[in-house]
Chain A
Amino acid sequence: MPLTLASKAAADSQDYLWTLNFGPQHPATHTTLRLILKLDGERVVDAIPDIGYLHSGFEKIGEHLDFNQYVTVTDRMNYISPMANNVAWHQAVETLLGIELTPRCKYVRTIVSELARISDHLLSTGAMGLDVGAFTFFLYAFYQRERIYDIFESLCGARFTNSYTRVGGAMHDITPLVVEKIRDFLRTFPETLDDMERLVNRNRIFVDRMKGVGVLSREEAIAGSASGPVARASGVTRDLRKDEPYLAYSDFDFQVCCARAGDCFARYYVRMAEMRESLRIVSQAIENIPAGPINVAVGERTALPTKPQVYQTIEGTITHFELVMANRGFEVPHEEVYAAIESPNGELGFYVVGAGNDVAYRARCRPPSFIHFSLFPRLIRGHTLSDVVAVLGSLNIIAAELDR
């Protein structure tokens, strides 16, 4: 790190500057990341991000675990919306293998990724409020997140690290109990959302700390590769759900939420508006889930067949046997693909290289947090020290995804 200035003369000319270490352990970074701030009084002259504290070699592990095992690692990337990571990873693998999902699976995956979006936005807006002093707002958001955890627990048994998807399908089919819980959530959540908006949208303290802080222009957002709510708050009308419809998104009526201001308030506002659109998508999807199997047919040889198929048909027996044998498994082309989804945080894509067997030769993750955090120094320059937490919160930096 060039933490010192190049020459003594340069250092002397700037000796009124004060260097402050922000992190790696600081409550407002939420996770483990470090900023070296150069302060002139309370004004931030420059910020140097220092990351890598949570680097765990996820991409290296991806070259040693098979396609189904690696989904447990993707949970731990953006751990506030693990379902979206599961969907992104298996979408890339299925693109590589050329698998067409069943209509039911597409709907179920759409529902879980939209619920993941709501839970992600609840945490990111809630934490943003917490950082600038709106504690009640955070508690409202967190209570609703618990209810989404409950839905996921009924769906797949895990609350936090779901690992729900499998190549060509999902771990479990959606049950009437889950449908009922989602319906209940859809009924009551808009009320909380109204309450949350009423709490802070016109709150003088909140608005003053958010408006005009950390402005990202549209050109800067595109040049800096920003995506998701961060880019949309700057007027980039790009949403993969509309631009490159995947899963079942082309079946639903929803809007892409954008703002022009590009400041922290716009990013907050886009996230709040997106939650309402996600609710619309889930409510349309949950009433129209197609019947049929959730996993692809036995002939594809990717998803484990059901027990009746294993015991009563020869194809089922053979497929089950081959999938559980270590040296059998999938036939993967020697090719490489990139597939991305619109994750809550932005474009989350995987670049997967296949090498014949069921282990990826290279499993590159395109992490939105990493790209958004590189914009941070540009956003904070000229603002005050107290704005650091507001900007950091509005970018929704998840260090586990940042460092992988």
Chain B
Amino acid sequence: MQLLEIVTAITERHPGIVRSEFRGQTRLLVPREEALDLLRALKEQFGFDLLVDLTCVDYLNYRDAVDRFGLVYLLANTGLLANTGSSQRLTVRVMLNDSALELPSVTGLWPGADWMEREVYDMFGIVFQGHPDLRRILLPDEFTGFPLRKDYPLQGRGERHNFPVITRGQA
């Protein structure tokens, strides 16, 4: 199935989904309520078996931005499991706002999403419901901020000074 046919089929079935294209890359902007259903359909019906990456963008000061956060799911169809042939890519974007920074986890669909969701939680504070082990991954557990948010300063807020210093004698 060609990418164009897939996207047309999806936008007909879900009228709330906005489709856009830039430099040959097809993106779907999905309302958050439909996100999990759509991702499941993309995996199970349309053969997008590879979650290339899952990331987030904070649109705090972005021109013409309405919503605060945009989650980005980069999907690819390897064509290996379903033998569909060529490689296809599709970007799915879901917008979130401060009032509800939650989204269902996709670890059930792509187990590889485990650490990616943990990193987004660590850096942006977005909670993935149903994630098996949602902890900070790169930063220490005591860390209080979410450093990749745009309102977090480049040089930090002095969290490092609050970390306990262990001397050789105590250790």
Contact = CB atoms under 8 A, between A and B. Distances in A.
Contacts of A225: 50-53, 110, 112-113, 116
Interface stretch (B4-12, B32-40, B74-82, B96-104): B74-82
B80 A222 contact: yes
Nearest to A244: B87
Interface in B64-102: 64, 72, 74, 78, 80-81, 86-87, 89, 91
A134 interface: no
A114 interface: no
B43 to A, nearest CB: 10
B139 A55 contact: yes
A52 interface: yes
B53 A355 contact: no
Contacts of A335: 22-23
Contacts of B46: none
A370 B123 CA distance: 15
Contacts of B125: none
B105 interface: no
Contacts of B114: 374
A219 B115 contact: no
Contacts of B22: 333, 335-337
For the complex, would chain B's binding face be called helix, strand, loop or mixed by DSSP majority? loop
B53 A366 contact: yes
Contacts of B62: 334, 353, 355, 361
B87 A224 contact: no
Interface string B101-141: 00000000011111110010001000000000101111111
A351 B72 contact: yes
B52 A222 contact: no
Interface string A50-72: 01100101011100100000000
A218 B49 CA distance: 12
B2 interface: no
A238 B139 contact: no
For the complex, would chain A's binding face be called helix, strand, loop or mixed by DSSP majority? mixed
A59 B148 contact: yes
Contacts of B137: 51-52
A95 B138 contact: no
Interface string A217-250: 0110011111000000000111000011000000
Interface string A347-384: 10101010110000110101000110110000000000
A236 B112 contact: no
Given A59-B148, A98-B23, A244-B87, A236 B154 contact: no
B111 A218 contact: no
A364 B138 contact: no
Contacts of A98: 23
B110 A364 contact: no
B25 interface: yes
A59 B58 CA distance: 13
Range of interface residues on A (Cβ < 8 Å): 35 or more
Interface string A106-117: 000000000000
B31 interface: no
B160 interface: no
Given A222-B49, A370-B115, A374-B115, A334 B64 contact: yes
A371 B115 contact: yes
A236 B78 contact: yes
B23, B25, B51, B53, most chain A CB atoms within 10 A: B53
A349 B53 contact: yes
B49, B81, B138, B147, most chain A CB atoms within 10 A: B138
Contacts of B80: 218, 222, 236-238
Contacts of B110: 223, 225
Contacts of B13: none
A324 interface: no
A404 to B, nearest CB: 8
A51 B115 CA distance: 11
B14 to A, nearest CB: 22
7 contacts: A95-B23, A222-B49, A225-B116, A244-B89, A366-B55, A370-B115, A371-B115
Interface of B: 22-23, 25, 49-53, 55, 57-58, 62-64, 72, 74, 78, 80-81, 86-87, 89, 91, 110-116, 119, 123, 133, 135-141, 147-148, 152, 154
Given A353-B62, A403-B138, 13 more contacts: A1-B141, A55-B139, A60-B154, A64-B154, A219-B81, A222-B50, A225-B51, A334-B62, A335-B23, A337-B25, A356-B63, A361-B62, A364-B55
Which 7 residue pairs across A and B have the least CB separation, nearest first? A225-B112, A52-B138, A374-B115, A243-B87, A366-B53, A224-B112, A55-B138
